[in-house]
Structure 1
Amino acid sequence: MQTSHTAAPTASTVSFIRRIALVSWKPVLFAVLLWLSAAAGEIPIPGTPVPITLQTFVVMLAGLMLPWRQAGSALALYIAAGAIGLPVFAGGASTMALVGPSAGFIFGFLPGVVAIALLRGKADTTSTARTALTAARYLFAAIIGGVAVVYMFGFLVQSALTGAPITAVALASMGFVAGDAVKAVVAALAATGLTKLSR
């Protein structure tokens, strides 16, 4: 009798741990991908202190491929890693990036990825027309969450920290916007293709 009592909690503990592992591996994977995309290199843009990286592309993919809670968890984990001093942000930066000119973009990743995940809708790749519609919805979600939301936060914080008018910040960032629009197209097509392959 004593053995069955001890076996039951052990089985439920193992089951609980397994459920936690199944739910958390994807957010951890995307948090690592965000770090790798920042560590892979950056391209400076003249007139702005914020470099181009592949981070927004990874944010878009996370929003398009994960449920909103997992996508949000991935970004929260990434931001928390930088906040505690790990060099996960562009240029190997950590905590100070969260109070610098790019802070708004970093913090904007979190609501941006949640917006993407909520707006993308349900994938349907059962026909060519439905696959195209899914890709269009994915592109719309990536543009709204990965560009509009992220840049809204980025422009506001950068303008507040630098004292530059928000219009000047926006004009200096047009190179980023164009690049991120291209990333949105690639992310939407990639996510649609991966969804089709997984069915």
Structure 2
Amino acid sequence: MQTSHTTSSTAATASLGRRIVAASWKPALFAVLMWLSAAAGAIPIPGTPVPITLQTFVVMLAGLMLPWRQAGSAVAAYLAAGAVGLPVFAGGASTMALVGPSAGFLFGFLPGVIVIALLRGKANTSSASAAALTAGRYLLTALVGGVVVVYALGFVIQSALTGVPIAAVALASMGFVAGDAIKAVVASLAAAGLSKLGR
């Protein structure tokens, strides 16, 4: 009887371990992808201290492909890594980036990815028209969460930290907005295509 209890306890522990690994590898992967997208190189934009990176693209993909808790965990892990001093932000920055001009954009990734994941709905790729509707819905949610939410926080915090009016910050950031709109198109098409492969 003791052996049976021990065996079932061991099986339950192993099952719990498998569930934890299954639930955490995707957030860990997207956290690493966010770091790689920042480390791959940053393109400066004249008139703004915030460089262009592929981070918003990864945020959009995470929101479109993961449940909201996993998507939020991926971004939270990435921000936590920078907060403790790891050089995971653009240009190899770490903690100080969270109090600099790009802080609002970095913090905006968390609510942005959660909004995307909550709004995206279920993928339907059963036909070409259903797949197109899914991609269109994904595009809309990527724009709302990955552009509107992220930029709202980014503009407000950058304006507060630099003393530059929000309108001027927004005007200087139009190059980012255009680039992120393109990223949203690519992310929505990629996520819709990947969801079709996963069927």
TM superposition score category, shorter chain reference: over 0.9
Q: Quote the residue 1:110 is aligned against.
A: 110
Q: Quote the residue 2:13 is aligned against.
A: 13
What are the ranges of 5 or more consecutive residues in structure 1 without an aligned counterpart?
none
Instruction: Letter of the 1:177 partner, please give it.
Output: V
CA distance in structure 1 between the aligned counterparts of 2:6 and 2:94, rounded to whole angstroms: 45
CA deviations on 1:74-119 (whole Å, 9 max, x unpaired) are: 0011101111111111011111100000000000000000000111
CA deviations on 1:109-143 (whole Å, 9 max, x unpaired) are: 00000000111111100011111100000000000
Deviation of 1:179 after TM superposition, in Å, equals 0.3
Deviation of 1:64 after TM superposition, in Å, equals 0.4
Indicate whether 1:183 and 2:164 are aligned.
Answer: no
Q: Quote the residue 1:71 is aligned against.
A: 71
Instruction: Letter of the 2:186 partner, please give it.
Output: V
Indicate whether 1:50 and 2:50 are aligned.
Answer: yes
Instruction: Letter of the 2:78 partner, please give it.
Output: Y
CA distance in structure 1 between the aligned counterparts of 2:81 and 2:191, rounded to whole angstroms: 26
Q: Secondary structure at the match of 1:25?
A: helix
Deviation of 1:144 after TM superposition, in Å, equals 0.2
Instruction: Letter of the 1:123 partner, please give it.
Output: A
Deviation of 1:197 after TM superposition, in Å, equals 1.2
Instruction: Letter of the 1:11 partner, please give it.
Output: A
1:122-141 alignment runs, 5 A limit: 122-141=122-141
What are the ranges of 5 or more consecutive residues in structure 2 without an aligned counterpart?
none
CA distance in structure 2 between the aligned counterparts of 1:3 and 1:196, rounded to whole angstroms: 46
Q: Quote the residue 1:169 is aligned against.
A: 169
Indicate whether 1:195 and 2:195 are aligned.
Answer: yes
CA distance in structure 1 between the aligned counterparts of 2:116 and 2:147, rounded to whole angstroms: 10
Q: Secondary structure at the match of 2:144?
A: helix
> Percent sequence identity over matched residues?
78
Instruction: Letter of the 1:153 partner, please give it.
Output: L
Deviation of 1:4 after TM superposition, in Å, equals 2.2
Deviation of 1:198 after TM superposition, in Å, equals 1.2
Deviation of 1:7 after TM superposition, in Å, equals 1.9
Instruction: Letter of the 2:110 partner, please give it.
Output: L
Instruction: Letter of the 2:93 partner, please give it.
Output: A
Q: Quote the residue 2:153 is aligned against.
A: 153
CA distance in structure 1 between the aligned counterparts of 2:167 and 2:102, rounded to whole angstroms: 16
Deviation of 1:49 after TM superposition, in Å, equals 0.4
CA deviations on 1:31-68 (whole Å, 9 max, x unpaired) are: 00000000000000011000000000000000000011
Instruction: Letter of the 2:60 partner, please give it.
Output: M
Instruction: Letter of the 2:96 partner, please give it.
Output: M
Q: Secondary structure at the match of 2:140?
A: helix
CA distance in structure 2 between the aligned counterparts of 1:185 and 1:46, rounded to whole angstroms: 25
Q: Quote the residue 2:33 is aligned against.
A: 33
